[in-house]
Amino acid sequence: MTGLFVFGSIFVAHNFFKDQSASIAKVLPTATPGLLCDNYDESGDFEKPVPVIWTARMDGCLVSCEGASFTRIPEDKKYPRFAGYYPGGLQPELGQGGRALKIYGDWIGIDADHPFTVFDNKCVPVIQINKIEVVN
């Protein structure tokens, strides 16, 4: 039985029926930070969190609903979308029906948070959510 494991950027092929050995099948280059998102030069952590109260709709869960992607209402021109994380996770039902939510939290920075799969190759604001209210 042969298996393929990923360790960082190295793929390792392993034969389970022979002696414990591994051979490197392929080495992939690691992306440089500038390739993570189109606006990477804007990314970074803030020295102090910025308290925010934003109205937004939840677009979908991130990391098994530990967080979610949101779109601001009305859309902000520079950062229309953001990632928000809530201690203990978010309820997926919050995103049903496109309802408006009032998000209270701390804006901790701009980061490459799921840029390829969720945020259209953009670094986005990252919010530590303290409270969510359903507006409608």
| Measured distance CA(110)–CA(39) in Å, rounded | 10
| Measured distance CA(109)–CA(131) in Å, rounded | 18
What are the structural domain ranges in the chain? 2-30, 35-134
Report yes or no: 22 and 12 within 8 Å, Cβ to Cβ.
yes
CATH annotation of 35-134: 2.40.50
Report yes or no: 60 and 68 within 8 Å, Cβ to Cβ.
yes
- Note down pLDDT in tens along the chain; length 136 residues: 444 444 444 444 444 444 544 444 444 444 455 567 887 888 889 999 999 999 999 988 887 888 888 999 998 898 999 999 998 888 878 888 889 999 999 999 988 877 666 777 888 899 999 999 999 7
pTM of the model: 0.70
